[in-house]
């Protein structure tokens, strides 16, 4: 019997090729999109789950509060003494490992000199916490001795080629030598961090590097990742509840005898939550976002739903063509459940065919998704029984969901009416089909509106005034070794007409403002502590003019004033936070910051140092004195005139090599850093657009097939109207208006849904656009135009047909 069902199903598919093709094509496209998005979602959800102890590993985080008790900073790192005291104060901790991100580090082997990114200091417990495969060396001892180093396979090949890297000596930062004691396979792609080089944590105990005493007592350097392994089924809240007493016990002196727990707190973050749920002020690498996973998962379901609706619409629409077949089956004894099974088998057959084709298309479209998403997705992530079983069941679920209503509807036909030719699709059927069309276009219009608003916000972020000029600025890492020669270095650069300014700073715009120290200001007749957080940036005399920042009161730092190394420049937000009346009122006021006392010599206009996701915060610019070993500056900014940029860049590189021959030249345009701030939104907008277009295309495909069928049922009516003198335009209007009414209804339903969704999305941006009414009008016009073109094609074709042909059979 089952073989008979399949045979009849195949014959019906071949008999109605046009509708079958639309059903198959729509489901195939929908399932392909679902598979693509499923691959992306599963990859996002898989981060760090490769670790054997993943469920028991937690990262320690630290939160800072200002004088008013408000959270001012949340870090994914803590200071080194925490790791020193944790094992003794908390016996429930089974294992612990610490890492320090050294960032880009200069490594030299023979003649190879490379600025190596992703260099970390790591202790010998790393391989007891994280699951990594060591290719060479002993994972238990490779990082035990000071000045030992481990490398990933790719990094080792870069330095040593086919040589055996073991026991080779590398020079680090021109300061100390390290010996290769192990090689490991790189951290998997689905890891929240990707260290390429691991230097023994015990190296930090050397006084020339960090110092053992600093590791025990330096509570101010919050740069250390600290991971704990807790017992199975242990409630992390138990440990968190003990942290306040721990802080008060060890950090009372750091807060002048006050309770430390009032000003700072510790938290625990599950390793598997870091990638999608962690958005601290300092992360090892840019993370994903669980909201984005929800959004794309919803889009996948929407697209599949639209494809299923197409099937339901077209199947019920063609029911009139199969009415006599159903009547004959019932007369010869076919029961209702057998008819239902017959129709469902057709749906499942189409769904199976669609998913098999979709898997083939997945291999061709996945590289495209990798390109626009910036990820390295692979179909291998689908090769797990937890994934394969649901995928195997998908054709049955999709086939049953899309075919159930048509099956129930067609199996309910009365054989007497169908065999007499009296069957006619009832009003209930028509109404249900209308509901399905409205649902399709509601989803499509929501996607159109959201896509427009996403791109509006992206354009706003890229085009809004930042308060500084980011054009034609290149940035480089600043090395302290050039301090004694800096003036000569700067003068040599400025001799060339293509270079306008050169400046040093601790941070550069597009970065994060993390540094904050206590401030006091002259308010009234006395110095008072400032309760608000004021972030600091160390700058030299040339930072403000290099970035074109507007001074609204007072002046910039000047080499003509020797005391300016003790003075300050504030932004307008800092002036307001202190409580001074105006920028002019702040000039020459006494101000103290981080133990330094001086005067406010100038006030600069507020500018967007960070991303537009963050609000502009109070900032103080400090101009510290520079000596040979000064480490206040970490960035060098060079402002170009914009004339003959390639030649100017060559000049910058030449001067660099003249003064820093042992350090590779590496520069980045500031606007590239700016674009990276919104790279995830740009990619999200692109993917949104593509899948929105696909959803609309599938909806129109269904509308095309449905309108073609509906019009074919009215061919004789059209013929009669033409004979009676009806014009082509009036016939097209008659045939199109019912469908356009449905699309118009869909727009009304879609508006509040889209408004709510995008209001919630925009809330994540401190500076955002307003949602304008014309966006909804534009989306509705686009949807109506697409629907009109789709339906009009069939309507015009029917309206211009020869009425003689349509009436000949009467």
| Model pLDDT for residues 215-243, shown as the tens digit of each residue | 999 998 899 999 999 999 999 999 999 99
φ/ψ of 196, rounded to 5, equals -95, -20
Q: For the chain, how many residues are written?
A: 810
Quote the strand ranges of 9-129, DSSP E. Answer: 57-65, 71-75, 95-109, 112-122
Q: What percentage of the chain carries pLDDT values higher than 90?
A: 43
Q: Which of 99, 106, 52, 112 is nearest to 195 (CA)?
A: 99
C-beta of residue 606 within 8 angstroms of C-beta of residue 467: yes
pLDDT of residue 712: 66
Count of other CB atoms within 10 angstroms of residue 591: 25
Q: Which of 503, 732, 518 is nearest to 638 (CA)?
A: 503
Sign, CA torsion 252/255/261/264: negative
**DSSP 8-state symbol, 567:** -
Find the mean pLDDT for residues 556-563. Answer: 91
pLDDT of residue 49: 94
What is the C-alpha to C-alpha distance for residues 306 and 77, in angstroms, rounded to an integer?
Answer: 46
Find the mean pLDDT for residues 182-203. Answer: 94
Task: Kindly give, in sequence order, each residue whose CB lies less than 8 Å from that of residue 581, ignoring residues fewer than 6 positions away.
Answer: none
Q: Which of 249-263, 310-324, 790-804 has the highest mean pLDDT?
A: 249-263
Q: How confident is residue 6, by pLDDT bands cut at 50, 70 and 90? A: low
Could you read off the pLDDT of 451-479 as tens digits, one per residue?
888 888 888 887 888 899 999 999 999 99
Between 789 and 211, whose confidence is greater?
Answer: 211
Task: Determine whether 491 is exposed, middle or buried from the number of CB atoms within 10 Å of its CB (0-12, 13-18, 19+).
Answer: exposed
What is the C-alpha to C-alpha distance for residues 21 and 353, in angstroms, rounded to an integer?
Answer: 11
Between 22 and 129, whose confidence is greater?
Answer: 129
In sequence order, what DSSP letters do the residues of 369-408 get, joined into one string? HHHHHTS---GGGG-SHHHHHHHHHHHHHHHHHHHHHHHH
Could you read off the pLDDT of 658-706 as tens digits, one per residue?
999 888 899 999 988 888 888 877 887 788 788 878 888 887 777 776 6
Could you read off the pLDDT of 370-402 as tens digits, one per residue?
888 777 888 888 877 777 888 888 888 877 777
Q: Which of 510, 505, 558 is nearest to 536 (CA)?
A: 505
C-beta of residue 700 within 8 angstroms of C-beta of residue 786: yes
Between 520 and 349, whose confidence is greater?
Answer: 520
Q: Which of 244-258, 392-406, 565-579, 750-764 has the highest mean pLDDT?
A: 565-579
pLDDT of residue 136: 94
pLDDT of residue 429: 45
What is the C-alpha to C-alpha distance for residues 737 and 235, in angstroms, rounded to an integer?
Answer: 62
Task: Determine whether 411 is exposed, middle or buried from the number of CB atoms within 10 Å of its CB (0-12, 13-18, 19+).
Answer: buried
pLDDT of residue 271: 96
Could you read off the pLDDT of 336-367 as tens digits, one per residue?
676 677 777 777 888 888 889 998 999 888 88
Count of other CB atoms within 10 angstroms of residue 608: 22
Count of other CB atoms within 10 angstroms of residue 15: 12
The H or E element that residue 608 is part of is none
How far, in Å, are 305, 505, 573, 703 from residue 26 at the CA level? 11, 56, 55, 11
pLDDT of residue 253: 82
Could you read off the pLDDT of 104-156 as tens digits, one per residue?
888 999 888 888 999 999 999 999 999 999 999 999 999 999 999 999 999 99
Count of other CB atoms within 10 angstroms of residue 463: 8
Between 1 and 483, whose confidence is greater?
Answer: 483
Find the mean pLDDT for residues 703-725. Answer: 72
What is the C-alpha to C-alpha distance for residues 295 and 276, in angstroms, rounded to an integer?
Answer: 13
How far, in Å, are 478, 483, 544, 596 from residue 627 at the CA level? 14, 7, 22, 17
Residue 428 has pLDDT above 50, yes or no: no
Residue 426 has pLDDT above 50, yes or no: no
C-beta of residue 523 within 8 angstroms of C-beta of residue 578: yes
Lowest mean pLDDT among 561-575, 637-651, 654-668, 687-701: 687-701
The H or E element that residue 475 is part of is strand 473-477
Residue 100 has pLDDT above 90, yes or no: yes
Q: Would strands 535-538 and 619-622 be described as parallel, antiparallel, or unpaired?
A: parallel
Q: How confident is residue 203, by pLDDT bands cut at 50, 70 and 90? A: very high
pLDDT of residue 427: 45
504: helix, strand or coil: strand
Q: Which of 676, 680, 695 is nearest to 509 (CA)?
A: 676
Q: Which of 344, 313, 336, 400 is nearest to 9 (CA)?
A: 344
């Amino acid at each position: 019997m089952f073989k008979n069902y399949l045979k009849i199903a195949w014959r019906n598919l071949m008999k109605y090729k046009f509708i079958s093709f639309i059903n198959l094509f729509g489901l195939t496209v929908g399932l392909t999109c679902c598979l693509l998005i499923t691959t992306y979602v599963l990859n996002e959800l898989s981060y760090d789950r490769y670790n054997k102890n993943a469920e028991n590993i937690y990262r320690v985080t630290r939160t800072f509060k200002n004088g008013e008790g408000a959270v001012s900073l949340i870090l994914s790192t803590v200071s080194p003494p925490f790791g020193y005291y944790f094992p003794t104060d908390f016996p429930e901790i089974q294992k612990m490992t610490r890492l320090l991100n050294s960032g880009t580090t200069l490594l030299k082997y023979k003649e190879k000199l490379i600025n190596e990114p992703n260099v970390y200091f790591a202790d010998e417990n790393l391989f007891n916490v994280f699951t990594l495969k060591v290719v060479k060396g002993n994972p238990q001892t490779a990082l035990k001795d000071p000045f030992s180093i481990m490398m990933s396979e790719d990094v080792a090949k870069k330095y040593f080629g086919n040589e055996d890297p073991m026991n080779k000596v590398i020079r680090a930062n021109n300061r100390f030598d390290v010996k290769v004691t192990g090689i490991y396979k790189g951290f998997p792609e689905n890891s929240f961090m990707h260290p390429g080089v691991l230097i023994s944590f015990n190296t930090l105990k050397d006084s020339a590097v960090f110092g053992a005493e600093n590791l025990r007592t330096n509570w101010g350097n919050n740069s250390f990742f600290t991971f704990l392994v807790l017992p199975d089924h242990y409630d992390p809240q138990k440990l968190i509840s003990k942290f306040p007493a721990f802080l008060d016990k060890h950090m009372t002196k750091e807060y002048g005898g006050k309770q430390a727990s009032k000003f700072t707190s510790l938290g625990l973050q599950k390793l598997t939550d870091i990638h999608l749920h962690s958005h601290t002020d300092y992360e090892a690498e840019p993370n994903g976002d669980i909201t984005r996973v929800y959004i794309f998962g919803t889009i996948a379901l929407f697209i599949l739903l639209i494809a299923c609706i197409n099937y339901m619409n077209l199947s019920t629409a063609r029911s009139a063509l199969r009415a006599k077949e159903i009547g004959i089956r019932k007369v010869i004894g076919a029961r209702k459940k057998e008819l239902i099974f017959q129709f469902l088998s057709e749906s499942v057959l189409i769904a199976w065919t669609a998913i098999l084709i979709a898997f083939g298309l997945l291999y061709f479209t996945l590289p495209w998704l990798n390109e626009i998403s910036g990820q390295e997705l692979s179909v291998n992530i689908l090769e797990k029984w937890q994934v394969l079983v649901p995928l195997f069941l998908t054709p049955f679920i999709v086939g049953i969901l899309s075919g159930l209503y048509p099956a129930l509807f067609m199996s309910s036909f009365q054989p007497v009416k169908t065999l007499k030719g009296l069957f006619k699709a009832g009003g209930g059927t028509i109404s249900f089909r209308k509901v399905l069309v409205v649902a399709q276009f509601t989803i499509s219009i929501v996607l159109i509106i959201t896509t427009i608003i996403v791109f509006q916000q992206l354009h706003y972020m890229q085009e809004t005034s930042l308060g500084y000029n980011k054009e034609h600025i290149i940035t480089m890492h600043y090395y302290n070794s050039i301090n004694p020669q800096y003036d000569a270095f700067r003068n040599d650069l400025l001799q060339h007409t293509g270079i306008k300014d050169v400046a040093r700073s601790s941070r550069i715009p597009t970065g994060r403002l993390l540094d904050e120290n206590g401030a006091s200001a002259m308010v009234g007749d006395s110095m008072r502590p400032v309760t608000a957080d004021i972030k600091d940036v160390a700058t030299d005399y040339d930072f403000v003019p290099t970035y074109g920042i507007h001074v609204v009161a007072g002046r910039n730092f000047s080499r003509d004033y020797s005391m300016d190394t003790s003075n300050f420049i504030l932004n307008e937000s800092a002036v307001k936070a202190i409580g001074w009346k105006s920028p002019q009122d702040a000039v020459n006021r006494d101000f103290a910051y981080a133990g330094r006392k001086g005067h406010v010599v100038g006030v600069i206009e507020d500018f967007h140092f960070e991303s537009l996701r963050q609000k502009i915060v109070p900032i103080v610019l400090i101009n510290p004195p520079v000596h040979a070993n000064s480490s206040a500056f970490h960035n060098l900014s060079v402002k170009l005139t914009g004339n003959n940029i390639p030649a100017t860049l060559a000049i910058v590189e030449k001067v660099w090599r003249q003064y820093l021959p042992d350090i590779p030249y590496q520069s980045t345009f500031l606007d590239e850093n700016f674009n990276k701030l919104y790279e995830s939104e740009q990619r999200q907008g692109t993917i949104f657009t593509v899948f929105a277009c696909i959803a609309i295309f599938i909806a129109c495909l269904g509308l095309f097939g449905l309108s073609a069928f509906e019009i074919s049922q009215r061919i004789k009516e059209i013929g009669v109207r033409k004979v009676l003198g009806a014009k082509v335009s009036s016939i097209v209007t008659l045939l199109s208006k019912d469908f356009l009414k449905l699309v118009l209804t869909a727009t009304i339903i879609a508006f509040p849904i889209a408004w709510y969704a995008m209001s919630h999305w925009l809330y994540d941006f401190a500076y955002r656009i307003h949602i304008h009414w014309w966006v909804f009008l534009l989306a509705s016009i686009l949807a109506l135009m697409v629907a009109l073109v789709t339906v009009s094609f069939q309507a015009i074709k029917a309206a211009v047909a020869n009425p003689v042909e349509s009436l000949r059979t009467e």
